[in-house]
A and B are shown apart, each in its own frame.
Chain A
């Protein structure tokens, strides 16, 4: 188990360092761009040192999930009906600064899997779901390049790590509901389309992985993106 945690830790650090290095790089102009900027600055006697704008963006979405890793259904269960599909929902609050790297929190609810069947004529049902509570980092693929219409500026990658609260419900000779916490991570890619001054819609493909309990789901979500306020 400690090996899994170590690997998760390593993975999280790699993702974090990657995103930070990209952010730094994004803010370091290329030599041609640096030259153009210097010329612009020289031409302008007033240097603008103001930062911003900063924006808080709230994203809510829902869609379809598919449990994408191995699972075990006890051999004692007959007439087994297994479902790997679920209808996830997510809520994300992000801080969009005046540079490329965005940071925020994500939570939601995702069905992992369920199965039902019979044991000696008795109905059984097991349902497993997870609530992620993750720190997420996001970055558009394009930044200060192209136009608002360019695909790279509308696409973003997101990665996060944190806690998964894994919920299990057993219905068989009574009901048992338990929660188990697990470290985990997520990675996602999204495409955002503007539909108004403050609203956009997005499509996002996402991978959830609750490492300690070995639950992983691939989700496809349609999201509403709301630029809640800016300053």
Chain B
């Protein structure tokens, strides 16, 4: 009888091991996305930007944070958001001004990208005037110090923990590109929008990005779309029965049947660039070439949206990335390629021979000091990818060699860049 019992116990063990835990980080705050800045006008936003010392809450978020306002255009309206970038666990806050009239109050949430921790946050703007803390009403006298304090909560609890931020210094103003991988961040990091979606592009600035890298593939009928992997899989899309290479499906089939993990459609490259131009403050788009084949359609779209950006008065660079020799061959086969800006991820000699204006080596090759200096001396911009390790991000920014970092953790890059003291 013993074997029977062992067998049943074994099956029970197998069954229990086979239950998969679902990880999620649902945003606990509903953004009103109200147009206009309300009480948080230009002057208020300007004095709020800066590096702050954390007193209450330092154990959770580190001893200093960077606060930066961003915006999102929606037609003629503009909504403003305050991001807080921290130096611990890739945590960030995403806040908006509330409609309270008696004080300047921010509401939103905080999130740690290294795990699924998330919670509500509510902060009030105050000012320390002659050693006394009082509500900030939009006026800052000489000698006054901005203090932002309030409460934050854990995933399942209401606001309960105090947090206090005291203004320390302005943000580092050195020009630097903070580029978010996969249009803003990875789906696997449980962000509120799926990677390579229109929604994550709209979120990218709030995650600290000044630019994005998007993954371009073609559908069966030749429509350039944004999608990272070479197959439809449950890492990126909701279950629907479709599998296999993305290139096997027409755009209409994908558009009808496939939804990304958070319910978004797979966007076309045109929809993505339309969003960048019309809705965001992003100033750089890196079109990563994930396809093998002709590049002419992508080139035409790049030129079309470069013109649209110029007409809109936007200083937006849209660059075609060349990550492989196949992509280089596709680029070489283009007609009129002289006016097509490219970024080369391969060696420096090839980068120079192609006339690329940007060289982007992978970070695992190290600082490459001599090569980077030589390329910069030749007038090229040098980015490094895809760097997610906070210690290396800090080190690379501190070395002040690269012009930008591509990362899945743009809040971490933003923190180290904005808090860097020249």
Q: Chain A: residues with CB nearer than 8 A to chain B?
A: 1, 3-4, 7, 10-11, 14-15, 18-19, 21-22, 25-26, 70-77, 113-115, 119, 124, 126-128, 139, 141, 143, 152, 157, 159, 166, 168, 170, 172-174, 176, 178-180, 185, 187, 209, 212-214
Complex alpha-carbon distance, A222 and B273, angstroms: 57
With known contacts A7-B20, A22-B7, A139-B7, A172–B244 Cβ distance under 8 A: no
> When the two chains form their complex, are residues A178 and B245 in contact, meaning their CB atoms are under 8 A apart?
yes
Tell me which residues across on chain B come within 8 A of A70, comparing CB atoms.
239
> When the two chains form their complex, are residues A15 and B14 in contact, meaning their CB atoms are under 8 A apart?
yes
Tell me which residues across on chain A come within 8 A of B11, comparing CB atoms.
157, 187
> When the two chains form their complex, are residues B7 and A157 in contact, meaning their CB atoms are under 8 A apart?
yes
Chain A nearest CB from B102 CB (Å) reads 44
Closest chain A residue to B258 by CB distance?
A74
Q: Is the interface of A mostly helix, strand, loop or mixed?
A: mixed
Chain B nearest CB from A207 CB (Å) reads 9
> When the two chains form their complex, are residues A11 and B17 in contact, meaning their CB atoms are under 8 A apart?
yes
> When the two chains form their complex, are residues B241 and A26 in contact, meaning their CB atoms are under 8 A apart?
no
Q: B18 at the A/B interface (Cβ < 8 Å)? A: yes
Q: B271 at the A/B interface (Cβ < 8 Å)? A: no
With known contacts A74-B256, A119-B256, A141-B7, A10–B17 Cβ distance under 8 A: yes
Tell me which residues across on chain A come within 8 A of B20, comparing CB atoms.
3-4, 7
Q: Which of A74, A143, A185 is packed against the most chain B CB atoms within 10 Å?
A: A74
> When the two chains form their complex, are residues A73 and B7 in contact, meaning their CB atoms are under 8 A apart?
no
Q: What 14 new A-B contacts, CB under 8 Å, besides A11-B18, A74-B258?
A: A7-B18, A11-B17, A15-B14, A25-B2, A126-B257, A141-B4, A168-B242, A168-B243, A172-B256, A185-B18, A187-B11, A213-B233, A213-B234, A213-B243
Tell me which residues across on chain A come within 8 A of B3, comparing CB atoms.
22, 25-26, 139, 141, 143
Complex alpha-carbon distance, A72 and B17, angstroms: 24
Complex alpha-carbon distance, A127 and B252, angstroms: 18
Complex alpha-carbon distance, A143 and B1, angstroms: 10
Complex alpha-carbon distance, A74 and B239, angstroms: 9
Complex alpha-carbon distance, A152 and B4, angstroms: 8
> When the two chains form their complex, are residues A74 and B244 in contact, meaning their CB atoms are under 8 A apart?
no
Closest chain B residue to A11 by CB distance?
B17
Closest chain B residue to A209 by CB distance?
B18
Q: Chain B: residues with CB nearer than 8 A to chain A?
A: 2-4, 6-7, 10-11, 13-14, 17-18, 20, 231, 233-235, 238-245, 248-250, 252-253, 256-259
Chain A nearest CB from B388 CB (Å) reads 16
> When the two chains form their complex, are residues B242 and A170 in contact, meaning their CB atoms are under 8 A apart?
yes
Tell me which residues across on chain B come within 8 A of A18, comparing CB atoms.
6-7, 10, 13
Complex alpha-carbon distance, A180 and B248, angstroms: 13
Complex alpha-carbon distance, A218 and B120, angstroms: 43
> When the two chains form their complex, are residues B257 and A178 in contact, meaning their CB atoms are under 8 A apart?
no
Q: Which of B234, B235, B253, B259 meets A170, CB within 8 Å? A: B253
> When the two chains form their complex, are residues B239 and A178 in contact, meaning their CB atoms are under 8 A apart?
no
> When the two chains form their complex, are residues A11 and B242 in contact, meaning their CB atoms are under 8 A apart?
no
> When the two chains form their complex, are residues B253 and A14 in contact, meaning their CB atoms are under 8 A apart?
no
> When the two chains form their complex, are residues B257 and A172 in contact, meaning their CB atoms are under 8 A apart?
yes
With known contacts A18-B6, A18-B10, A178-B248, A115–B241 Cβ distance under 8 A: yes
A sample of 26 inter-chain contacts (CB < 8 A) reads A1-B233, A1-B235, A3-B20, A10-B17, A18-B6, A72-B238, A74-B240, A76-B257, A113-B241, A126-B240, A128-B241, A139-B3, A139-B7, A141-B4, A159-B14, A168-B243, A173-B252, A176-B242, A178-B243, A178-B245, A185-B18, A187-B11, A209-B18, A212-B233, A213-B243, A214-B234
> When the two chains form their complex, are residues A76 and B13 in contact, meaning their CB atoms are under 8 A apart?
no
Complex alpha-carbon distance, A73 and B256, angstroms: 11
Tell me which residues across on chain B come within 8 A of A10, comparing CB atoms.
17
Q: Which of B14, B248, B250, B253 is packed against the most chain A CB atoms within 10 Å?
A: B14
Complex alpha-carbon distance, A74 and B255, angstroms: 10
Closest chain B residue to A112 by CB distance?
B241
Chain B nearest CB from A91 CB (Å) reads 24
Complex alpha-carbon distance, A51 and B248, angstroms: 55
Closest chain B residue to A172 by CB distance?
B253
Which 8 pairs from chain A and chain B are nearest by CB?
A: A178-B244, A180-B243, A18-B10, A126-B241, A72-B239, A168-B243, A128-B241, A11-B17
With known contacts A74-B257, A166-B243, A173-B250, A15–B10 Cβ distance under 8 A: yes
With known contacts A1-B235, A72-B238, A168-B242, A176–B7 Cβ distance under 8 A: no
> When the two chains form their complex, are residues B239 and A214 in contact, meaning their CB atoms are under 8 A apart?
yes
Tell me which residues across on chain A come within 8 A of B17, comparing CB atoms.
7, 10-11, 14
With known contacts A11-B14, A213-B243, A174–B253 Cβ distance under 8 A: yes
> When the two chains form their complex, are residues A14 and B13 in contact, meaning their CB atoms are under 8 A apart?
yes
> When the two chains form their complex, are residues B249 and A176 in contact, meaning their CB atoms are under 8 A apart?
yes
Tell me which residues across on chain B come within 8 A of A209, comparing CB atoms.
18
Complex alpha-carbon distance, A136 and B241, angstroms: 27
> When the two chains form their complex, are residues B244 and A179 in contact, meaning their CB atoms are under 8 A apart?
yes
> When the two chains form their complex, are residues B14 and A74 in contact, meaning their CB atoms are under 8 A apart?
no
Q: Which of A71, A168, A214 is packed against the most chain B CB atoms within 10 Å?
A: A168
Tell me which residues across on chain B come within 8 A of A178, comparing CB atoms.
242-245, 248
Chain B nearest CB from A221 CB (Å) reads 18
Tell me which residues across on chain B come within 8 A of A152, comparing CB atoms.
4
Closest chain B residue to A179 by CB distance?
B244
Chain A nearest CB from B8 CB (Å) reads 9
With known contacts A76-B257, A176-B248, A126–B6 Cβ distance under 8 A: no
Complex alpha-carbon distance, A114 and B235, angstroms: 21
> When the two chains form their complex, are residues B240 and A73 in contact, meaning their CB atoms are under 8 A apart?
yes
Complex alpha-carbon distance, A172 and B257, angstroms: 10
Tell me which residues across on chain A come within 8 A of B250, comparing CB atoms.
173-174
Q: Which of B3, B248, B249, B253 is packed against the most chain A CB atoms within 10 Å?
A: B3
Complex alpha-carbon distance, A18 and B243, angstroms: 34
Chain B nearest CB from A204 CB (Å) reads 15
